[in-house]
A and B are shown apart, each in its own frame.
Chain A
């Protein structure tokens, strides 16, 4: 695994200074020992506020049909590899539009994780922690949102856009304030528009009354729950003022068409609009990669939908100046077996798989790690989820060595004993 001892001592000194500055700024703020955000450097300010966009390919994207193709080998499958905008890097022919964005992306081709079932594997890749260790750790978006949120934010710090109402993005011990707000099928949260027949004056009076009750309660029993309760009403009020951001019909038809007339297209378009409004953490989920059956047909369909939309999103983020400040992560909970089963499928695989990163904080055009010609063994650069999470946090300017204070114990953001993949960091 990528060991922390490869880090240089001075990095830790800088990181600690950043942490202390952040803590000083945060004052009493919240239950976080580490403060709301560390001080941004001049370069970071110039690049804009740091954000994180995760495209989660649910079920387990095949690394062989995406980032680490092995054409012409026994288990390589029928797809060929194509060149990308970075000389020497080839990816699957299923991603022709993404291939043209490779100069904005980096690949990790040497991930080894230990959970083969979906639920613990998702927990692992969404929290950076093993489910068996317990601890109610917040999901990546929630943890990062707690560090990237700003007091003046008018939209939730962590938004999840998916096709179902299945709740994801738990805030864990951070509480509900940083839990993901689920926007199923890109629909805005309910009740952003005042009920018919209730005047603005009436609403204002209700808000004032509630505020009085809140102050009385908080004065005697201030807890994380009361904070979250108050914050949620404040956020709802602010979101109501910003509800136009959820209305995709505000986008010209041509823009909507560019993203694609399907859920994933609409979800990515909404993600772009939310990033433009400074939502710091967004996750977009694309489903049905769990291809035990007819892996190649399914990847044809799913990546056919993913490819053009994702490339359009990357183009837009770049052209609108958002990419420099936005870490983009394309990941799954696992990869898929090199061996093709008797149903033309690929099964769960955690021994040697890949993800893509891009945008803010990431070295564009980098490839980290290498697998053998069958895609079975990692030849170089073995990393796990902990190393990836250190990398994610560092890329958005968060010190992974900071800790959360849960009032019971201190919990470090990044798993101790690991470190970021320095070669991937800009």
Chain B
């Protein structure tokens, strides 16, 4: 299947500094199906995306303008794919889905091929993450369990029990020794990877509430991000929900000092936009980037961690879901409801090859 690409996807221009205020879409690939997840291989030459069907799409990026690119469908899941994780060596992709399956995909030789498939959870897998050293993969989901797997042979290393609600997100600490998982009630558990012991629990109460009239939990842990040295943890979610069922919900971040466990900043957007955080990254140690999508379509927000409101936001044409960054952190890739992948450059001066 072919994707139509507008603009160039040339991504790495290390000589130029990133500037969020210079954000502009430089390339747009129409995959044709509403998308949920995306990730980028370390070379920046191939994107992987999954959407509202059972397939993962392998999308080669073309540096020439307005090209048609041939996508490869990766089939193996029986439900939507909610978690995609790229191995640091770029030779392996892991995916987890609503079918509870965890699939290893080999990328070492052209089109991805399925290496291994494990029925990992008795419910949705909502997130997949790979450790910094690439040896452990963590999965988490609606059976309220976190599971750790040996990347090399697929062996189950540990099952981490303790959450009482669906687990939405999981993330490794940069120290390589710890892991966190966040659930529907915005409780964040910190685990020791080797022992599986729960070290402590953090809570972001402003990102969860119970509608007592409906007995409905609202909010939850929608994104987790550590800064580069692991001192700060950003938890993104819904800080307000004037009309939850109608999608009038507003995004917010809670910034923790990870060592003390203290909340150091509660963040919100300047405008009360109805939109949901889907993914976040730290750019350096002081800038948090969050992709959002919802009733108010898509946005990229940029916060300084010590400020309550964003210093910049960038509107996107459709609800943005997942977010990936290239290694130089000059380009952001977003997966959208309208079936497009969009590459946003943060570089101030466009190279000649880019379209305006």
Contact = CB atoms under 8 A, between A and B. Distances in A.
A binds B: yes
Interface stretch (B175-183, B190-198, B244-252): B244-252
A288 B295 contact: no
A74 B245 contact: no
Interface in B29-61: 33-34, 52-54
Interface stretch (A213-221, A244-252, A298-306): A298-306
Contacts of B297: 342
B18 to A, nearest CB: 28
B70 interface: no
B99 A59 contact: no
A343 interface: yes
Contacts of A298: 216, 245
A220 to B, nearest CB: 46
Contacts of B295: 293, 342-343
A256 interface: no
A291 B244 CA distance: 9
B217 A301 contact: yes
Contact of A343 (B80, B211, B214, B247): B247
B79 interface: yes
Given A78-B124, A80-B78, A80-B99, A264 B319 contact: no
A243 interface: no
Contact of A79 (B79, B276, B319): B79
A78 B276 CA distance: 19
A163 interface: yes
Interface in A41-95: 59, 71-72, 74, 77-80
A292 interface: yes
Interface string B262-292: 0000000000000010000000000000000
Contact of A302 (B216, B276, B319): B216
B249 A287 contact: no
Contact of A293 (B53, B99, B215, B249): B249
A262 B79 CA distance: 30
Given A293-B246, A342-B295, A264 B215 contact: yes
B79 A74 contact: no
A171 interface: no
A342 B245 contact: no
Contacts of B227: none
Contacts of B217: 301
Nearest to B212: A163
Nearest to A163: B213
**Most A CB within 10 A of own CB, among B34, B215, B297:** B215
B53 A163 contact: no
B213 A78 contact: no
Contacts of B79: 71, 78-80
Contacts of B99: 80
Contacts of A71: 79
A121 B269 CA distance: 37
B245 A288 contact: yes
B294 interface: yes
A118 to B, nearest CB: 11
Nearest to B246: A292
B303 to A, nearest CB: 23
A340 B211 contact: no
B72 to A, nearest CB: 20
Interface in A142-183: 163-164
B256 interface: no
A290 interface: yes
B245 A300 contact: no
Interface in A71-128: 71-72, 74, 77-80
Main secondary structure on chain B at its contact with chain A?
loop
A78 B294 contact: no
Contacts of B246: 290, 292-293
A291 B211 CA distance: 14
Contacts of B245: 59, 288, 290-293, 298
B166 interface: yes
Nearest to A290: B245
Contacts of B294: 293, 342-343
A293 B216 contact: no
Contact of B215 (A59, A80, A163, A343): A163
Interface in B68-82: 78-80, 82
B214 A342 contact: no
Contact of B319 (A80, A263, A342): A342
A78 B79 CA distance: 5
Nearest to B77: A78
A345 interface: yes
Interface string B301-327: 000000000000000001100000000
Contacts of A340: 34, 52
B98 A78 contact: yes
A254 B295 CA distance: 44
A300 B216 contact: no
A161 to B, nearest CB: 14
Interface in A314-370: 340, 342-343, 345
B337 to A, nearest CB: 4
A422 to B, nearest CB: 38
B125 to A, nearest CB: 11
B318 A300 contact: no
Contacts of A305: 215
A287 B142 contact: no
Contact of B53 (A74, A288, A343): A74
B293 interface: yes
A309 to B, nearest CB: 12
Nearest to B249: A293
B216 A301 contact: yes
A288 B211 contact: yes
B244 A262 contact: no
B98 A79 contact: yes
Contacts of A262: 215
Nearest to B99: A80
Contacts of A288: 211, 214-216, 245
Contacts of B166: 300
Contacts of B318: 342
B213 A164 contact: yes
Contacts of A72: 53-54
A287 B211 CA distance: 11
A192 to B, nearest CB: 25
Nearest to B52: A340
Nearest to B123: A300
A292 B216 contact: no
Interface of B: 33-34, 52-54, 78-80, 82, 98-99, 124, 142, 166, 211, 213-217, 244-247, 249, 276, 293-295, 297, 318-319, 337
A-B pairs, top 9 by smallest CB distance, nearest first, are: A293-B247, A288-B214, A78-B80, A78-B98, A343-B247, A342-B319, A342-B337, A290-B245, A78-B79
5 contacts: A72-B53, A80-B99, A288-B216, A293-B295, A300-B142
Given A263-B215, A288-B245, 8 more contacts: A72-B53, A293-B247, A293-B249, A300-B166, A342-B293, A342-B295, A343-B247, A343-B295
